[in-house]
């Protein structure tokens, strides 16, 4: 079906995945806007697998990833004939299990995304400094991941992702895992502002209704590897929201 130019302009990335991961059959077409998109679904619905597919980390068959370019053409990062290696996809990634580099300090972890220990310039340094400040981990900069709590590790992982220069798509896998609600409520608007100011679209994975509602973003509802609904958060998650309100009222 041909798309109108307006509709195409709204989409920044198109990810189509038809493959089997473990015992799950994934068959999903995601259209991501230039803003923040939430991938919502219960555990085991294939959310992380979709992110990994976008990263180029799972098989090559049945996956298509396209990016809308400033010159209004679609760049194919992956399809049946193309397989752009992960490091050339212009992605930033905060993976599910934080995966901090254990032999590097917090600062070095964040710097790794900024310049991989190679030639550094002032842009990279200010990016690292701003990212450390955004996630309130300046005081942890010289510690190693082993000496951090779960929530602190999560913030370092986010800071590392946010310090990736020239990022075209931010992938956040359960970004507030282990971070308490008060801090999350502080961080969320600041993260959104950061991404909006730099024009970086984001795709985040969550199964937390409150988090999704707070983001006020487009939601893709995933169930058993298939897209069940998509649209604005209050429209897609109205049943979930009612459930949340009822449980809040009871308390």
Partner 1 sequence: MDSTSILLTLRLASVTTILLLLIATPLALWIATGRGPARRIVQAAVALPLILPPTVLGFYLLVGLGPLTAFGRFLIRLIGHPLAFTFTGLVIGSILFSLPFAVQPLVAGFTNVDRDLIDTARVLGASPWTVFRRIVAPLSRAAFLASAVLTFTHTVGEFGVVLMLGGDIPGVTRTLSIAIYDQVQEGQYAAANHASLWLVALSFLALLLLYARNSGRADAGIA
Question: Does 162 contact partner 1 by CB under 8 A?
Answer: no
Relative orientation angle of helices 106-115 and 150-162, to the nearest 10 degrees: 20
Relative orientation angle of helices 122-134 and 106-115, to the nearest 10 degrees: 130
* Share in percent of the chain as helix, strand, coil (round to 5): 40, 25, 35
Provide the mask over 39-58, with x wherever binding to partner 1 is found by CB under 8 A and - wherever it is not: -------------x--xxx-
| The only residue of 41, 95, 175, 201 in contact with partner 1, by rule CB under 8 A | 95
Four-residue CA torsion sign, 240, 241, 246, 251: positive
Q: Per DSSP, what are the bridge partners of residue 32?
A: 13
225 conformational bin, left if phi > 0, alpha if psi -120 to 50, beta if neither: left
Question: Does 164 contact partner 1 by CB under 8 A?
Answer: yes
Q: The sheet that has 63-68: what strands, in order across it?
A: 74-78, 63-68, 11-21, 24-33, 226-232, 218-223, 36-40, 202-206, 169-173, 91-94
To partner 1, the closest distance from the beta carbon of 128 in angstroms equals 13
| The only residue of 42, 117, 150, 243 in contact with partner 1, by rule CB under 8 A | 117
Four-residue CA torsion sign, 185, 189, 195, 198: negative
Q: Which is nearer to partner 1, 86 or 151 (CB)?
A: 86
For the residues of 195-207, what is the DSSP string, one character each?
A: HHHHT--EEEEE-
| The only residue of 42, 74, 80, 101 in contact with partner 1, by rule CB under 8 A | 101
Question: Does 93 contact partner 1 by CB under 8 A?
Answer: yes
Q: Which is nearer to partner 1, 103 or 181 (CB)?
A: 103
| The only residue of 53, 91, 191, 233 in contact with partner 1, by rule CB under 8 A | 91
C-alpha 215 chain-centroid distance: 13
Q: Which is nearer to partner 1, 68 or 93 (CB)?
A: 93
Q: Which stretch binds partner 1 (CB under 8 A): 40-48, 113-121, 148-156, 209-217?
A: 113-121
CB 109 within 8 A of CB 145: yes
To partner 1, the closest distance from the beta carbon of 156 in angstroms equals 12
To partner 1, the closest distance from the beta carbon of 6 in angstroms equals 32
Q: Which stretch binds partner 1 (CB under 8 A): 24-32, 111-119, 123-131, 212-220?
A: 111-119
| The only residue of 81, 102, 146, 248 in contact with partner 1, by rule CB under 8 A | 102
Query: What residues line the site for partner 1 (CB under 8 A)?
Result: 52, 55-57, 85-87, 89, 91-93, 95, 97, 99, 101-103, 112-113, 116-118, 160-161, 164, 171
């Amino acid at each position: 079906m041909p798309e109108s130019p307006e509709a195409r302009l709204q989409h920044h990335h198109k990810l189509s995945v038809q493959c089997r991961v473990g015992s799950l059959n994934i068959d999903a077409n995601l259209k991501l806007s230039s803003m923040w998109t939430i991938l919502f679904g219960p555990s085991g619905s294939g959310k992380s697998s979709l992110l990994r597919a976008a990263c180029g980390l799972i098989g090559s068959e049945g996956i298509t990833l396209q990016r809308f370019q400033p010159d209004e053409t679609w760049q194919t990062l992956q399809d049946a004939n193309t397989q752009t290696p992960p490091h050339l996809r212009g992605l930033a990634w905060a993976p599910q299990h934080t995966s901090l580099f254990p032999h590097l300090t917090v600062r070095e972890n964040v710097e790794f995304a900024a310049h991989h220990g190679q030639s550094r310039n002032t842009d990279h340094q200010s990016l690292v400094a701003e990212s450390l400040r955004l996630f309130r981990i300046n005081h942890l900069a010289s510690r190693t991941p082993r000496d951090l709590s779960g929530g602190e590790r999560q913030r370092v992982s986010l800071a590392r992702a946010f310090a990736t220069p020239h990022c075209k798509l931010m992938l956040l896998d359960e970004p507030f895992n282990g971070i308490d609600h008060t801090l999350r409520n502080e961080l969320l608007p600041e993260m959104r502002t950061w991404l909006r100011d730099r024009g970086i679209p984001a795709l985040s994975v969550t199964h937390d209704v409150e988090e999704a509602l707070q983001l006020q973003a487009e939601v893709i509802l995933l169930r058993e590897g298939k897209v069940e609904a998509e649209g604005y958060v209050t429209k897609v998650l109205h049943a979930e929201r009612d459930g949340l309100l009822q449980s809040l009222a009871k308390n």
